[in-house]
Amino acid sequence: MSKTQVIKAECKECGNADELEVDAGKLGRYMLREALVQQMFPSLSAPERELVMGYRSGYYLCNSCWQTVLGDDDTDTEVSSV
């Protein structure tokens, strides 16, 4: 069984923190830029992949703020707030 890691990213717009449990090995490869987020985490929703990208980059918008700031193009499920 693979190890998991909980990642957390804070929304730059509203300040809410979201977290997600991901495969630690895949996250490590993604952090080293060995593959794209959709290649490493194909089963995650678009908002969940945004959290993973925000974790790496340091810039994250939660699903609610993403829709407010950039429009309502994405209809995937939301990431749970902590």
Q: Is pLDDT larger for residue 53 or for residue 73?
A: 53
Q: What is the pLDDT of residue 76?
A: 54
Q: CA triplet 5, 37, 32: central angle to 5 degrees?
A: 70
pTM: 0.80
Please report where in the chains the tokens 């990642």 appear, as a residue.
7
Compute the chain's Rg from CA coordinates: 12
Instruction: Give per-residue pLDDT as tens, 3-48.
Output: 999 999 999 999 999 999 999 999 999 999 999 999 999 999 999 9
Tell me which amino acid residue 62 is: C
Which pLDDT band holds residue 70 (cuts at 50, 70, 90)? Answer: confident
Residue 67: per-residue pLDDT: 83
